[in-house]
Chain A
Amino acid sequence: MAKEILLEIKDLRVNFYTYRGVVKALNGVNLKIYEGEFFGLVGETGCGKSVTASAVLNLVQNPGKIEEGEIFFKEKNLLKMNKEEIREKIRGKEITMIMQYPIAALNPVMNNGDQIAEALIANKNMNESEARKRTIKLLREVNIPEPEKIARQFPHQLSGGMAQRVMIAMMLSTEPSLLIADEPTTALDVSIQAQVLSLLKDLISKHKATVLLITHDLSVVAETCSRVGVMYAGDMVEVGTVDQIINNPQHPYTKGLIKAIPSDQSKELVEIRGSVPDLVNPPSGCRFHPRCDYAKPICKKEKPQVLQVEKDHMTACFLYEERHDKRSKEEYKGGANGRADSA
């Protein structure tokens, strides 16, 4: 795999100004997505995964505000572009997004075929009959039986799985380089989830696109993605390949998350004590420290730096920092500081 960086997010901070106070939704998130990969972003409700996606598409709206940071897409800073430029060149063309509830995301008063054709006419300069032909082809590509009939139907006549296929067809119609899939299968049954995920995988390799898959389900990521980022309360706590995260998790939150999921490996469920913090008053230092079994005094005071565990594997935790320092001291005999630059 050629390791060209497609999307790079640097120190992204997003706040929401609500009547209760300022919700610090993203607290300096760093992320790199390489071309052609399937990247999974995992975390619980309110950890900022969807906000990250909206920031990439410049969809953070009032009362939300991007305070700081840079988002580079194909080496262009998206945050420096004006609204028109993003709309004309990026959103819906270069970067598209699949939503969690396809039936709510589709236009209820327009038939399925026209919705897809509309995107083609607007973005690909096709005339109407060309667009219609292409629409049927796209619907066939996402394994919809009787595409001519489905194209004439409206979204409410579709089941969840079918609507998600229509959505995927629409999002692939403009041949995007990056597809953001926000919980694409959460509302679907397992048997339909398997169909949709395998379809998505096939199409992505065929169209040579890159995917950012957002989900709360680590097992879905383990099956479909090559790399994973784990988020907690607005921080990226650990990034690595699927194998590194599942078999050698470093951050206590990642470890807790793996144990809490009912899976083929678990015999009992281990809970993470406490609850997700209120981001109006996030905990000081490491945001996970009130729930962490290994918390030390320093965790309350400072935000841990992102350190490299091994190639491609980063984590932000003082526990690792300690071990890391010890090791690098041995390696360098008290010489140079072996800290890797933050990811």
Chain B
Amino acid sequence: MEELIQLKEIKKYFPWKKHKYVKAVDSVSLSINKRDIFGLVGESGSGKTTLGRMMVHLIDPTSGSIFYKGEEISRTKKIDKDLRRNMQIVFQDPYSSLHPRKKIKDIIGSGLRTHNLVKSEGELITKIEQFLNLVGMGEEHLYRYPHELSGGQRQRIAIARALILNPEFMVLDEPTSSLDVSVQAEILNLLMKLREEFNLTYIFITHDLYLARIITEKIAIMYLGKIMEYGDTESIFKNPLHPYTEALFSVIPKLDPQKRTEKIVLKGEIPSPVDPPLGCRFHTRCAKKIGEICEKISPPLKEIEEKHFVSCHLYD
């Protein structure tokens, strides 16, 4: 399979007061193949959104490098316009990601203009209409403003805006977390249909494990800026190896009373990313902590089963 994006030892530290940093992403290495649907799963503050934004070059990593088709894009100050066109993002909150004073036509069309993809106004309108239909909306929305649309409709506009530039890969940052469940199903089914049609690669960021199971093929479970477990979605669901993943699975509310297992309720809260725990980041809440080694040495990601990587001293 062709490799599309490769991350090597990516770090992102945001300055925080004097000489302190929020370690949002800390040494993450990943590789994403063409046509993957790759899930980034974690609780708030795990760094999944920061990682997603770095992948589309919205922010630069503090250190480490990102390769896109073998070409480094993280150190380049001026990024190629065509490369920009190829990577698009759909944001979490459709209420703040659309310009409130622009018409739908201008929101979807501005990318086409910047990249000189259309020659005339007529061509622009035809193209926008085509993509509006593609995301299940009518031409009557062309001259409306975002406030006239519902949350689901807005998210469709955001998807059309990203798709119209014919990108190769898209970061979907919790695209449905602010929508109702019945609308969520609609948007996700649309995204899956579009992926088939346009041969897209998706990075799917979510905090919902069951959603990740339905949508993705591979997932990385993140905690405090680090990847705890990573591999094929099915094998992680069948056999979660990291104590954090296990705990996470056990606490999600389940519909079926028979599938309910003993809950591993995590003690305390996520520590501050300004002073993350030394050693394994999870040791302060871990039920299976072995001893001193967890407090001192950060466990490397190791391949335990085929294509199933875990960062935990239990498997040393």
Contacts and interface: CB of A to CB of B under 8 A. Distances in A.
B1 interface: no
Contacts of A157: none
A192 B182 contact: no
B208 interface: yes
Contact of B265 (A198, A223, A261): A198
Interface string B76-106: 0000000000000000000000000000000
B210 A194 contact: no
A193 interface: yes
Contact of A267 (B185, B214, B253): B214
B148 interface: no
Nearest to B266: A191
A190 B252 contact: yes
Contacts of B210: 262-264, 266
Contacts of B263: 194, 198
A147 B251 CA distance: 26
A222 B251 contact: no
B251 A159 contact: no
A262 B255 contact: no
Contacts of A243: 257
B88 to A, nearest CB: 23
Interface in B51-92: none
A223 B254 contact: yes
Contacts, number: 109
Contacts of B180: 44-45, 216, 276
Contacts of A261: 181, 255
B269 A159 contact: yes
B9 interface: no
Interface stretch (A23-31, A119-127, A252-260, A316-324): A252-260
Interface string A238-281: 00001100100000000011111111111111111101100000
Identify the interface centre among A218, A246, A272: most chain B CB within 10 Å of its CB.
A272
A217 interface: yes
B248 interface: yes
A268 B260 CA distance: 20
A220 interface: yes
A266 B182 contact: no
B44 A262 contact: no
A193 B44 CA distance: 13
Contacts of A217: 253
Nearest to B150: A275
Nearest to A276: B180
A271 B186 contact: yes
B214 A266 contact: yes
A195 B43 CA distance: 14
Nearest to A193: B251
A266 B212 CA distance: 12
B182 A257 contact: yes
A128 interface: no
B213 interface: yes
Contact of A190 (B184, B186, B214, B251): B251
Contacts of B247: 191
Contact of B255 (A162, A263, A275): A263
B292 interface: no
Nearest to B45: A189
Nearest to B272: A159
A276 B183 CA distance: 9
A113 B218 CA distance: 47
A260 B210 CA distance: 12
Given A194-B251, A216-B180, A223-B260, A269 B214 contact: yes
Contacts of B211: 262
26 contacts: A161-B269, A162-B269, A189-B207, A197-B253, A216-B181, A219-B253, A219-B255, A222-B255, A222-B256, A224-B253, A242-B257, A243-B257, A246-B256, A257-B181, A260-B182, A260-B185, A261-B255, A265-B256, A266-B210, A267-B214, A269-B185, A269-B214, A270-B185, A271-B185, A272-B185, A275-B150
Closest 9 CB pairs of A and B: A194-B251, A219-B253, A271-B185, A262-B210, A269-B185, A272-B182, A189-B43, A44-B180, A262-B211
